[in-house]
C-alpha cells in the first residue's frame, strides 16, 4: 500500500517493453533504459523500416571526371553551325559592286578600280562623293 500509483505510471510510460509506453516521453526523457543492449542504432526512420534482416549498406563511390567527347557530324552545314555563328554579310554598295558584271554599276566599279573620284546622285537622298582610300 505504500506504492504510489503516479510513479508506477511514469515507470510504465518510460518502459519500452510495456504496453503503456509513451514514445514521446521516451524520446525526450533521460531516464529511459533500452531493453536490449545489442539493439542497433538507426539514424532515421527509413533505415528502421527496412528491418534487421535487410540492413542497408551504403558504399561510397568515387566518380572520375569524364573527358569531354567531341561529336563528329557528317554534314558540313551542321558542323559549321555548331562551331561558329553565321556572320551576316553587310548590304551596301561596295559589297554589291563586287558581284556586278554589267550595267551602270560596272562603270562605277571600273572608276573605283582606277581610283577616279566620282560624284554619285541617288533619288531621294543627298548627294555623296565616292572616293576610294589608298
Give the SS3 label for residue 8.
helix
pLDDT digits (tens, 9 = 90+) for 85-114: 667 878 887 788 888 888 888 888 888 899
Q: Which of 53, 31, 32, 55 is nearest to 43 (CA)?
A: 55
Ranking 2-16, 61-75, 96-110, 113-127 by mean pLDDT, the lowest is 2-16
Report pLDDT for 55. 60
Say which residue, 40 or 54, is predicted with more confidence. Answer: 40
CA 9/CA 123 separation, integer angstroms: 107
Q: What is the pTM of this model?
A: 0.27
Q: Please, where are the H alpha helices in 84-132?
A: 93-97, 104-113
The mean per-residue pLDDT over the stretch 58-63 comes to: 82
Say which residue, 65 or 115, is predicted with more confidence. Answer: 115
Amino acid at each position: 500500500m505504500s506504492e504510489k500509483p503516479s510513479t508506477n505510471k511514469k515507470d510504465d510510460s518510460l518502459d519500452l517493453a510495456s504496453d503503456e509506453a509513451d514514445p514521446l516521453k521516451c524520446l525526450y526523457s533521460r531516464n529511459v533504459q533500452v531493453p536490449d543492449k545489442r539493439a542497433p542504432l538507426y539514424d532515421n526512420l527509413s533505415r528502421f523500416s527496412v528491418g534487421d534482416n535487410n540492413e542497408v549498406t551504403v558504399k561510397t563511390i568515387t566518380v572520375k571526371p569524364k573527358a569531354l567527347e567531341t561529336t563528329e557530324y557528317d554534314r558540313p552545314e551542321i558542323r559549321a553551325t555548331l562551331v561558329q555563328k553565321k556572320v551576316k554579310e553587310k548590304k551596301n554598295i561596295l559589297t554589291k559592286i563586287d558581284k556586278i558584271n554589267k550595267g551602270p554599276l560596272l562603270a562605277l566599279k571600273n572608276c573605283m578600280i582606277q581610283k577616279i573620284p566620282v560624284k554619285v546622285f541617288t533619288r531621294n537622298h543627298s548627294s555623296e562623293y565616292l572616293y576610294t582610300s589608298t
